[in-house]
Amino acid sequence: METTRPAKEKKKATRLWLIVHSWLALPLWVLIFFVCLTGTIATVSQEIVWLAKPEVRANRPTSDAVPLGYDAILAAVEEAEPGVAVSFISRPVKSIFALDVFVSYPDGRTRSLFVNPYTGAIQGVGGVFDFRYFMRALHGWLLVPFVGATSWGWYLVSALSIPMLGSLVTGLVVYKKFWRGYLNPRLRLRNGARIFWGDFHRLAGIWSVPFIAIMAVTAGWFLIQQILADNNITVSTAGVPPVVAREDVPAEGGAKAPWISLDRAGELVREKFPDLSPDFVSLPSNAFSHIVVGGRGAYPLIFETANVNPYNGKVEWARRVSDRSALELVTESMRPLHTGDFAGLWLKLVYFLFGLLLTMMVFSGMMIWLKRTALATAKLVRDISADRSLPSVDGVREAAE
């Protein structure tokens, strides 16, 4: 009896440390759940803004109305806001949204205007930090301020890609013949909470395998990208930004120099690159800047741009998919793959549904872990209480003598 007591005490101490270890994992579970939940909401945050704010909607005045060209939009904004300088006009991926027009006022203020694409009317002014950006910041870096170009919140969130990828690999290894879950899904509803959450966790994990892989890999790249940026390392092959040749700039220069129209610039780009859709246009910021026309081409994950000389209309420079290295094709695809914002509303809804499934999978795993840890804690407390209520070995001997 004397020899077994130290062994029991050692085993009890081991159980105690295991339980403490399990409880210390609670913050990690909560953080992963929070990041998954906020990411799911962030996926459709733009659509939530559309539901809440009528000014961001692209309402047709008549059923046969057609979108205005860039020149008409520019003229309408300058007429409604005299003195503003328009720097950028963007057509959202989803046609239900108003145009985003970025302007600068004479006093130095910059704003984003919501402009109706059919009438040119200014429907509202975008906030500097609206719900959409709030959710993305909350999900992406937990609202931790950036010091320079670094935020430890960004590192913390992107580092979760490591346990996420690890859980995906280990889950597939542990769950033998997981593909059977696609053919014969099992979700038992009447066998208690433990059975239900276990079935749900496995089922959600099986159906989320591709989505989890995309999220883990892309988030892992965000971690690598930040490390590279903090060490001033780049993988870009873009080179030095192009400028208009001095001899092409008229003598009067500046704002008085005549420019070709924005619609004409878009036409010239389409003539040279028929597969490039002019989804946005950036106006020259000075006499030596180009009109930049950009959009998506055959490969929808990456924006392509073409620089047009604003004085003679020549397409002088382009940055297309074929101009990127193989590494850039991979790295520049990471963000749109992570957000799903490159193919319209239907893809955003698919991302939202899988994000919701992933969030619930994390929640179910947390419920399983929490119940198991709570039961183990309660059992340990009972064992300790029972041991304290029993007389010691020395006390038994003394009573016998």
- The number of beta carbons lying within 10 Å of the beta carbon of residue 238 is 12
142, burial (CB in 10 Å: exposed 0-12, middle 13-18, buried 19+): middle
Residues of the chain with CATH 3.30.505.20: 56-132
The CATH number of 56-132, from 3.90.1200.10, 3.90.1310.10, 3.30.505.20, 3.30.420.40, is: 3.30.505.20
What is the identity of the amino acid at 218?
T
**What is the model's pLDDT at position 253?**
45
Write out the chain's pLDDT in tens, 401 residues: 444 666 666 666 666 676 675 666 678 888 999 999 999 999 999 999 999 999 999 999 998 899 999 999 999 999 999 999 999 999 988 889 999 999 999 988 899 999 999 999 999 998 778 899 999 999 999 999 998 888 999 999 999 999 889 888 888 887 777 777 788 888 888 888 778 888 888 888 888 999 999 999 999 999 999 999 999 999 999 989 899 999 988 876 445 568 999 999 999 999 999 999 899 999 999 999 999 999 998 899 999 999 999 999 999 999 999 999 999 999 999 999 999 988 888 999 999 999 999 999 888 888 877 777 777 777 777 777 776 665 555 554 454 45
315 and 270 Cβ atoms separated by less than 8 Å = no
**Selection from 354, 292, 282 nearest residue 318 by Cα:** 292
**What is the model's pLDDT at position 381?**
74
Question: Taking the C-alpha atoms of 123, 128, 133 and 134 in order, what is their torsion angle to the nearest 10 degrees?
Answer: -120
Question: Taking the C-alpha atoms of 78, 53, 157 and 31 in order, what is their torsion angle to the nearest 10 degrees?
Answer: 160
- In degrees and rounded to multiples of 5, residue 100 shows phi and psi of -100, 120
